[in-house]
Amino acid sequence: MSERKLVLFIATSLDGYIATKEDSLDWLYSVEGEGDNGYSEFYETVDTVLMGKRTYDWIMDHAEQFPYQNKMCYVFTRSEMKNAEDVQFVRNDIVSFINKLKLQEGKDIWMAGGGELLSAFMQEQLVDELILTVAPVLLGSGIPLFKEGNQTKLTLKRKRSFNQFVELHYEVRV
Ligand SMILES: NC(=O)c1ccc[n+]([C@@H]2O[C@H](COP(=O)([O-])OP(=O)(O)OC[C@H]3O[C@@H](n4cnc5c(N)ncnc54)[C@H](OP(=O)(O)O)[C@@H]3O)[C@@H](O)[C@H]2O)c1
């Protein structure tokens, strides 16, 4: 049986930002999409969600209830945290943690962001596929999706659009 994949699924502005400097996603929610823009289809393919502590804090500040209650959810932090009801905090070395996780049986693993955690994952070549939902907006500044790092070659697996959004699905070339 092949290892399960770690997949980045994230929305980005055309100029490569995932939030404004003030952590606003208003620019994203104001785009006219189609249905849920492929979200539930993707959500079905994963049983585990990974995110950085700042993304977790953003969700806790904005969501009425934690949105990924039916998935195994890990939040990466370098601080000492008590586990919360819906998530486990991870301080371990990301490489050994992810390699163990990939060997467990199950569906794929969703890397939900943000940019800082993604940067560490890309440096360590832990991401297998990237699905970017591109919003038709130039933010000019903000929290970058990608930071400086290694060159990564990709293969385009699929492209489709949801009204104003374009979804680009890439596989990392090994
Ligand atoms: N557009 C979208 O679809 C989308 C998706 C996700 C997030 N976002 C937005 O992105 C913003 C957050 O992104 P961000 O890049 O600022 O932060 P982030 O990656 O979500 O979180 C950064 C934090 O994660 C922890 N961390 C990072 N690398 C680590 C590592 N190698 N090992 C252990 N812990 C590590 C650290 O937590 P500690 O400081 O606790 O040590 C760090 O401060 C928010 O505004 C959120 O709304 C947008």
Torsions phi, psi of 8, nearest 5? -80, 125
- pLDDT tens figures, 131-145: 999 999 999 999 999
Q: Which atom of ligand 1 is nearest to the CA of 113?
A: 6
**Residue nearest (by alpha carbon) to ligand 1 atom 8:** 114
- b/e map of 103-128 (b: 16 or more CB within 10 Å)? eeeeebbbbbbbbbbbbebbeeebbb
Write the residue with the smallest CA distance to atom 4 of ligand 1. Answer: 18
| Ligand 1 centre distance from Cα of residue 56 (Å) | 8
pLDDT given at position 114:
96
Residues 75 and 83: their CA atoms lie apart, in Å, by 10
List the domains of the chain with CATH numbers.
Answer: 6-172 (3.40.430.10)
Which spans in the chain are helix H? Answer: 26-29, 39-43, 53-62, 94-103, 115-123
Kindly give the number of the ligand 1 atom that is closest to the alpha carbon of 62. Answer: 47
Pocket of ligand 1 (CB under 6 A): 10-11, 18-19, 23, 25, 28, 51-55, 58, 76-79, 94, 112-117, 120, 143
Mutational pocket test of ligand 1: of 15, 18, 24, 56, the residue with most ligand atoms within 8 Å of the beta carbon: 18
For CA atoms 18, 20, 25, 31, the dihedral sign is negative
Exposed, middle or buried: residue 164 (CB in 10 Å: 0-12, 13-18, 19+)? middle
CA 122 to chain centre: 12
**Residues forming beta bridges with residue 52, ordered by sequence position:** 76
Q: What is the pLDDT of residues 82-103, one digit of tens each?
A: 889 999 999 989 999 999 999 9
pLDDT value of position 83? 81
Alpha-carbon span 121 to 127, nearest angstrom:
6
Q: Please tell me the pTM assigned to this model.
A: 0.97
Low-confidence ranges of the chain (pLDDT < 70): 1
Q: How far is the CA of 1 from the centre of ligand 1 (A)?
A: 32
